[in-house]
Amino acid sequence: MSWKGNRREIGEDFFETPECAVKAVIKYIPENAIIWECTYGKGALVKGLKNKIIKTDKYPKTDDTREFDFLTDEPDFDFDFLYFNPPWSLKTDFLEKAVSYNKPFLFICPITIMETAKRSKIFHDNQLSIINLSNRVNYVGKSGNKVFFHSVFVLNDGKGKLYYEELVKG
């Protein structure tokens, strides 16, 4: 596992979560939880939340974001809920690390998160749930190019369920 040369490092694996996807899952975020957004970027995921937000990112994009490598650094802070949009090229590593904290989490990723035996076992062993979105999500990349992916949210709720949420435009 290496960040060096990773597409996120050079900006190609940086796709902010659109508001329609955030709105679709907001009800899964506990209102009074201290949220750690470990891939903060520009804050698209937590926009509008009234929670206390701990902002970290390997490559900070705002002045109030702490530089922190989620995959190698250990937090020196407390949090209740982990919420993020990882670089998808490292989705397995992020999944494994998130599970290791034994805390609730929610993250968006391509539906391919379920495709390998290794990840399937992680889902089974931890009873992770999937929130399937009603349509492909339209991400906007660094250069303004639109990129569509069928995305799901992985939810650590200990239920191993499949949920469905409607994407609403606007």
Residues 109/154, Cβ–Cβ less than 8 Å: yes
Q: How confident is the model at residue 144, as a pLDDT?
A: 56
Phi, psi for 37 (deg, rounded to 5): -100, 100
In this prediction, residue 54 carries a pLDDT of: 98
Assess contact for 60 and 42: CB atoms under 8 A. no
pLDDT recorded at residue 137: 87
SS3 88: helix
Strand partners, 83: 106
Rounded Cα–Cα distance for residues 39 and 61 (Å): 10
Alpha helices (runs of H) in the chain, residue ranges in sequence order: 19-25, 91-100, 117-126
Please give the pLDDT value at position 48. 86
SS3 content of the chain, % helix, strand, coil (to 5): 20, 25, 55
pTM score: 0.89
Residue 53: what pLDDT?
97
Q: Are 60 and 85 in contact (CB under 8 A)?
A: no
Q: For position 168, what pLDDT does the model report?
A: 80
Low-confidence ranges of the chain (pLDDT < 50): 1-8, 10
